């Protein structure tokens, strides 16, 4: 048997950062090398995502247990993968898809499939004695992504908060990743004192950002801009703002309902809202500005803002090459969010990144709101030179684990590493800092 042949896969139910069950998988190879991965979980899940298999047994974890997915790894996937070469990821992922046999991965569960796919990749990299980013991207992996840090949480990630889900700071003006992370952490702490100064709550939401009860979305942006200045940086030069309104969550009967602000907008008015914001604030990126099936709204937004603002499809594309193909044909955005568990295999995820890059778009590698200590996304971002990552606030270990992994990669690559900074936004015709 070849040294890299898969000998066993073992799954287990563990907890994620919200205290909900998820699964981890350990893959072992015939020479004793092994790899480990754990699966994240979303809250504002897109309706076109692959299925996360939950037990539905109300007697355990309120129905959220994942013992069925665990059993699918141990009893169905492990025997089928045994003997396959771990370093043929495409063949492993093809096998996983065949075993499942459904379009949306509902039989085995995208969680069971992803845990297996990633554990095998980690094992193969370990067997070869190389870091995962080099295993995934070859020797041409050297771009350290600019981080997009969600320092103010709303929507489904916080109680009694803004309609928009995420308000991020993007330290594009940094000289290195380590410097970017330092700037972001300084802004984060400065935001805490800005909020405290206004008598607002500074407890944190699911992704580590503060979750104050604000009256409007604009108030959130303004608090961040004050925090940037207070930390000694210039908005629109050193730091930009990125938003993830997660618009599918407030799209009702063909309208965008901003209940906090008492506004009900049609698609045209929603687009105008963003255009006004882009004129008013240093906004470099808007993710899910429009709802997941409002293709016309997306086209309109891209027509109006696509030259100067990165427009990222998350629920719109769900990391699927089929939906991305449609988006590229329609000119529906200029960027895609990449979440491994939306599609379920490493191969399919990498195909989506490459398709976006070939189209001249960007790909933003992303965590989920429910996370674990797994840091695969840091390696994926470097491996594929995406130039961008979003992994939450610089707070809560499941978030900082990804950023800390990037610190280690940056020093490991030493002179070869190139920090993306503003260069990452190569999808924009007019760069906002010029």
Indicate which residue of 105, 339, 390, 402 is catalytic. Answer: 339
Q: Which helix (H) or strand (E) holds 328?
A: helix 321-330
Shortest reach from residue 40's CB to ligand PGA, in Å: 7
Binding flag, residue 314, ligand PGA (CB under 6 A): yes
Site string for Zn ion, 259-298 (x = CB under 5 A): ----------------------------xx----------
Candidate segments 41-49, 112-120, 135-143, 194-202, binder of ligand PGA by CB under 6 A: 41-49
Candidate segments 7-15, 200-208, 277-285, 312-320, binder of Zn ion by CB under 5 A: 312-320
Q: Is position 207 annotated as part of the catalytic site?
A: yes
214, interface contact from Zn ion, ligand PGA, none, CB < 5-8 Å by kind: none
Binding flag, residue 163, Zn ion (CB under 5 A): no
What lies within 8 Å, CB to CB, of 189 at 6+ separation is 231
Question: How far is Cα 411 from Cα 413, in angstroms, rounded to an integer?
Answer: 5
Structure tokens at 30: 């015939």
Binding flag, residue 246, ligand PGA (CB under 6 A): yes
In DSSP notation, 350-386 reads HHHHHHHHHTT-EEEEE--SB--S--HHHHHHHHTT-
Report the relative pairing of strands 240-244 and 166-170 from DSSP bridges.
antiparallel
Binding flag, residue 44, ligand PGA (CB under 6 A): yes
Residues 254-291 as b/e (b if ≥16 CB within 10 A, e otherwise) read ebbbbebbeeebebeebbebbeebbeebbbbbbbbbbb
Closer residue to Zn ion, CB minimum distance, 120 or 243: 243
Binding flag, residue 342, ligand PGA (CB under 6 A): no
* Residues 366-395 interacting with ligand PGA (rule: CB under 6 A): 366, 368-369
Task: Single out the residue of 28, 244, 249, 292 in contact with Zn ion (rule: CB under 5 A).
Answer: 244
φ and ψ of 214, to 5 deg: -105, 155
In DSSP notation, 142-185 reads -EEPEEEEEEEE-GGGSSS--SS-EEEEE-TT-SSHHHHHHHHH
Candidate segments 40-48, 265-273, 295-303, 356-364, binder of ligand PGA by CB under 6 A: 40-48
Task: Single out the residue of 294, 314, 398, 410 in contact with Zn ion (rule: CB under 5 A).
Answer: 314
Indicate which residue of 52, 207, 371, 410 is catalytic. Answer: 207
Binding flag, residue 410, ligand PGA (CB under 6 A): no
Closer residue to Zn ion, CB minimum distance, 36 or 251: 251
φ and ψ of 283, to 5 deg: -100, 125
Question: How far is Cα 298 from Cα 240, in angstroms, rounded to an integer?
Answer: 22
Binding flag, residue 28, Zn ion (CB under 5 A): no
The candidate with the shortest Cα–Cα distance to 174, out of 434, 418, 427, is 418
**Cα separation values, 231 from 104, 228, 264, Å:** 46, 5, 36
Closer residue to ligand PGA, CB minimum distance, 40 or 306: 40
Active site residues: 207, 339
Q: Which residues bind ligand PGA (CB under 6 A)?
A: 42-45, 244, 246, 314, 366, 368-369
Q: Which residues bind Zn ion (CB under 5 A)?
A: 244, 287-288, 314
């Amino acid at each position: 048997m070849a040294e890299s042949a898969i000998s066993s896969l073992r799954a287990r139910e563990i907890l994620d950062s919200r205290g909900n069950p998820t699964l981890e998988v350990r893959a072992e190879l015939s020479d004793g090398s092994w790899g480990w991965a754990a699966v994240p979980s979303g809250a504002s899940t897109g309706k076109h995502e692959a299925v996360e298999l939950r037990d539905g047994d109300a007697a355990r974890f309120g129905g959220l247990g994942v013992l069925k997915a665990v059993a699918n790894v141990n009893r169905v996937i492990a025997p089928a993968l045994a003997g396959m070469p771990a370093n043929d990821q495409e063949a492993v992922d093809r096998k996983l898809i065949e075993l499942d046999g459904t379009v949306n991965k509902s039989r085995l569960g995208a969680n069971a499939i992803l845990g297996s796919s990633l554990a095998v990749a980690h094992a193969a990299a370990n067997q070869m004695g190389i870091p995962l980013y080099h295993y995934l991207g070859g020797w041409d992996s050297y771009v350290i992504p600019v981080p997009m840090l969600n320092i103010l949480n709303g929507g489904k990630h916080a109680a009694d908060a803004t309609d928009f889900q995420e308000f991020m700071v993007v330290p594009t003006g940094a000289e290195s990743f380590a410097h970017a992370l330092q700037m972001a952490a300084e802004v984060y702490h400065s935001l805490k004192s800005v909020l405290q100064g206004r008598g607002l709550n500074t407890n944190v939401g699911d992704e580590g950002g503060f979750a104050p009860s604000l009256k409007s979305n604009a108030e959130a942006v303004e608090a961040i801009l004050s925090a940037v200045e207070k930390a000694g940086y210039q908005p629109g030069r050193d730091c930009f703002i990125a938003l993830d309104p997660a618009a599918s969550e407030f799209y009702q009967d063909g309208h965008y309902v901003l209940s906090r602000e008492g506004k009900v907008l049609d698609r045209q008015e929603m687009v105008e809202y963003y255009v006004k914001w882009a004129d008013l604030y240093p906004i470099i990126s808007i993710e899910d500005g429009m709802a997941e099936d409002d293709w016309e709204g997306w086209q309109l937004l891209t027509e109006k803002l696509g030259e100067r603002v990165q427009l990222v499809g998350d629920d719109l594309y769900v990391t699927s090459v089929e939906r991305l193909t449609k988006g590229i044909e329609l000119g529906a955005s200029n960027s895609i969010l990449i979440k491994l568990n939306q599609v379920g295999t490493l191969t399919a995820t990498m195909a989506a990144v490459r398709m976006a890059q070939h189209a001249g778009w960007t790909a933003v590698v992303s965590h989920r709101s429910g996370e674990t200590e797994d840091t695969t996304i840091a390696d994926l971002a470097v491996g594929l030179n995406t130039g961008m990552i979003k992994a939450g606030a610089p707070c809560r270990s499941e978030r900082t684990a990804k950023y800390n992994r990037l610190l280690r990669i940056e020093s490991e690559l030493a002179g070869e590493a190139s920090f993306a900074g503003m260069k990452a936004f190569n999808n924009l015709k007019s760069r906002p800092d010029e």
